[in-house]
Amino acid sequence: MLKKFKVRRSHALIFAGIIIIGLMVWLWPAFSSDQKNWPESFGYGKTATKQEIAALDIDVRPDGKGLPPGSGTVALGEVIYTNKCASCHGADGKEIKGVKLPGPPLVTGKGKTKTIGNYWPYATTLFDYVRRAMPYNAPGSLTNDEVYSLSAWLLSANKIIKPTEVMNAQTLPKVIMPAQKLFVIDDRKGGPEVR
């Protein structure tokens, strides 16, 4: 009796496989690369508005294109850092020997850890990353002025700018990072398109 069940079960599996293959062959034209068979809409989602697209189109290039209006100071950046960043990156942003913090060190100290001050190629990258991803528990919640201020404090703490400098869309791209010379720009003809 058990053998008959196994034979019947295998026949059922073969029959189901044939049905599935038959359905795939029958429906294939609807899912082929021939776009004229695709419906205009599947009834899900909606077309993004210009405002929704603009809210997500916030990338900043190394030359500063894409930086928003606003400005920030080192003094204000220190206050913001203490309130919103120090819990993950330490009180002064430096590596603490023997202590594992949730976030990496940001300020170059005595260790050889890669930080903003010894590894990042562009100050605009700092602004772009902080605006998109920080603080970790609320990414994208900082205002442009807060991000400019944090950028100013971090650059000053890494001894890249003077504590009196103000960071904005004009001054930030002019900051020359110590590690910039370690990175190579792919400017070959026929390479990636730069917009």
What is the pTM assigned to this prediction?
0.71
Give the amino acid at 140.
Answer: G
Q: Where are the domains of the chain?
A: 2-37, 50-182
**Would you call the peptide bond into 163 cis, given omega within 30 degrees of 0 as the criterion?**
no
**pLDDT by residue for the chain (195 residues), tens digit each?**
555 545 577 777 888 888 888 888 777 666 665 556 667 777 888 889 999 998 888 899 999 999 999 999 999 999 999 999 999 999 999 988 888 999 999 998 776 889 999 999 999 999 999 999 999 999 999 999 999 999 999 999 999 999 999 999 999 999 999 999 888 777 777 766 655
**Superfamily per CATH, domain 50-182:** Cytochrome c-like domain (1.10.760.10)
